[in-house]
Amino acid sequence: MSLRGNKAVFFDRDGVINEKLPEDRYVTRWEEFRFLPDVFRTLRHIKSRGYLIILVTNQRGIARKLMTEQQLQNIHQCMQAALELHGCSFDRIFYCPHDIQDHCYCRKPRPGLLAMAEQYYRIDKANSYMVGDSAGDVEAGRRYGIKTIRIGTRDATADYSVGRLEDILNIVT
């Protein structure tokens, strides 16, 4: 770790790491979790370039009682085990279990989930990125004070917009 701290890439989960289910449906069991293409290769490269990789995910299915916190943790344990086989598990996972009307500080677009990393690391914000497929991911990254990459849509509010996850390898160097 340098004096400036750790550079990190924060990733959204649904629609970035795994296939998103149709609106109002949530991944509630490992059997429903499908990795998107090129996830292993991309994460492995990012790690090899010296970045921490940190997952930050809104999971209001918990507040809505569509799944329990234990179910979510089971999914993440299985996900980490699968990533580990490819040498690219996440260094930390932070999730927001709240609903919109809870007005918590952690639900993206608020930056609280990202700030949780500071309990464990000194984050070198000037050299860190937020990667997501929604406007709320970009806003959370911007409010936290790091560079932002929007996947799948051109986004004027993001520092970069790319078509596919693997394209971030040209940016996060």
145 secondary structure, DSSP code? T
Span near Mg ion by CB under 5 A; candidates 25-33, 82-90, 127-135, 159-167:
127-135
Question: For 145, phi and psi rounded to 5 degrees?
Answer: 100, 30
* Nearest residue (CB) to Zn ion, 104 versus 116: 104
Instruction: State which amino acid sits at residue 37.
Output: P
Pick what 96 binds: Mg ion, Zn ion, none; C-beta below 5 to 8 Å, kind-dependent: Zn ion
Rounded CA-CA distance 101/10 in Å is: 25
Pick what 98 binds: Zn ion, Mg ion, none; C-beta below 5 to 8 Å, kind-dependent: Zn ion
Tell me which of 63, 66, 78, 104 binds Zn ion, using CB under 5 A.
104
Tell me which of 96, 130, 138, 165 binds Zn ion, using CB under 5 A.
96
Is residue 106 classed as helix, strand or coil in its secondary structure?
coil
Structure tokens that stand for 106 in this block: 């952690």
Residue 106 touches Zn ion, criterion: CB under 5 A: yes
Provide the CA 116 distance to its chain's centre, in angstroms: 13
Span near Mg ion by CB under 5 A; candidates 5-13, 59-67, 75-83, 164-172:
5-13
Closest distance of CB 134 from Mg ion, Å: 5
Residue 124 touches Mg ion, criterion: CB under 5 A: no
Residue 155 touches Mg ion, criterion: CB under 5 A: no
Structure tokens that stand for 63 in this block: 């507040």
- The bridge status of strand 147-151 relative to strand 92-96 is unpaired
**Peptide linkage before 109 cis (omega within 30 of 0):** yes
**Peptide linkage before 111 cis (omega within 30 of 0):** no
Span near Zn ion by CB under 5 A; candidates 8-16, 23-31, 37-45, 98-106:
98-106
Contacting positions for Mg ion (CB under 5 A): 12, 14-15, 133-134
